[in-house]
Amino acid sequence: MPKNSFKTRLKIAKNKLSRKNLYKNKQSPSSIGTAFKMSTELVSAVVVGTIIGFILDKTFGTKPWLILIFFFVGVVAGILNVFKSAKKMQR
Amino acid sequence: MATNPMHQFNVYRIGPEIKLGEIDISFTNASLFMVISSITILLIFNLGSKKNSLIPNKMQLLAELSYTFISKMISDTAGSKAKPYFSFIFSIFMFVLFCNMFGMIPYSFTVTSHIIVTFVLASFIFMGVTIIGFIKHGLGYLKLFVPSGVPLVLMPLIVVIEIISYLSRPISLSVRLFANMMAGHTMMKVFGGFVISLGIVGGWLPLSFSVALTGLEILVAFLQAYVFAILTCIYLNDALNLHH
């Protein structure tokens, strides 16, 4: 029986698989993953900026100023992060 | 059982106290679950790759599916240059996935719900990627911080912003995994507590919520492992193919 032979069955299965993959590739499979990604991107840069400002303040003794400046620089960096990953998503 | 929803994150010692100088290196429940997940991964992949038949059995199917999944992800996001780093990304993904999934078993401990664990993983990735970038490009890797087409007046500000954006990578990588795991598990525990306190009359609503949350948490456990791995690939891609 040629129909029951393993080779034909394998061919049919492979055909099915490739058709399914073609259909799947049209939409991005990792869209939920990228959505999760964006959330912390903004916050983490603010945190890093503030920490850097705090450390620099301690070493130079300019108590409130550098932490303020670096906080806002961190905010800008966070927005840049989100912007970059949004750009990456579009490609 | 304690009704405190944060009680599940307690780390306690199992067995004798071991000290290395000042540092406490005793075996804890966190280390126990790390060992369990590592051994499970080793077992699955050893059994799965033992005999290579054309028609795979379940173990082999599992191993081959996860192999193709990760290798496709790497070639999609980081290109063919990243192939040598497959084993690193694969082990990171598998470890995070199994730690997350073992955390879903009742009475177990979720290793990845502690920021120190995820931060160590993320900082290893960060340092590794930075070292790879400097090896591949030398000092030219610093061009990552200097985007093209910026007026010279703005350059110092932009460079500082880019450096902060670069340094925020391990923080965002670790906080994402830790926060998702901890928030989800706390929420499940809180709803579980509601079921007890509302009793048989009003307890059905939080119970159904708990069931739905369990499904969501399994999705999140997989998704966070996936995001962790794919971000590793993206950072690796930045280090390998330097273009701004």
Note the residue count of chain B: 244
- Joined tokens for residue A89: 């998503």
Query: A52-90 pLDDT, tens per residue?
Result: 999 999 998 888 888 999 999 999 999 988 888 888 777
- Cα separation, B153 vs B193, in Å, equals 58
Nearest to A45 among B165, B179, B230 (CB): B165
- Cα separation, A61 vs A63, in Å, equals 5
Query: A26-51 pLDDT, tens per residue?
Result: 444 466 666 667 778 888 889 999 99
> β-strand B23-24 against B19-20: which pairing, if any?
antiparallel
- Asked if the C-beta of B86 comes within 8 angstroms of chain A's C-beta atoms, the answer is no
Nearest to A37 among B160, B164, B227 (CB): B227
Minimum distance, in Å, between the CA of residue A76 and any CA atom of chain B: 7
In eight-state DSSP terms, residue B28 is B
pLDDT tier at B63, thresholds 50, 70, 90: confident
**Is the pTM of the predicted complex or chain greater than 0.95?**
no
Contact B164 A37 (CB under 8 A): no
Minimum distance, in Å, between the CA of residue B223 and any CA atom of chain A: 6
Task: List, in sequence order, the alpha helices (H) in chain B.
Answer: 29-48, 58-77, 86-103, 115-137, 155-202, 204-240
Contact B165 A40 (CB under 8 A): no
In eight-state DSSP terms, residue B23 is E
Nearest to B165 among A30, A80, A88 (CB): A80
- Cα separation, B33 vs B11, in Å, equals 11
- Asked if the C-beta of B160 comes within 8 angstroms of chain A's C-beta atoms, the answer is yes
Chain B residues touching A5 at Cβ < 8 A: none
Contact A52 B161 (CB under 8 A): no
ipTM of the complex: 0.72
Helix B204-240 vs helix B86-103: angle between axes, to the nearest 10 degrees? 170
Contacts of B143 (CB under 8 A, 6+ apart): B137, B242, B244
Interface of A with B (CB under 8 A): 30, 32-33, 36-37, 39-41, 43-45, 47-49, 52, 70, 73-74, 76-78, 80-81, 84, 88
- Joined tokens for residue B148: 């093209």
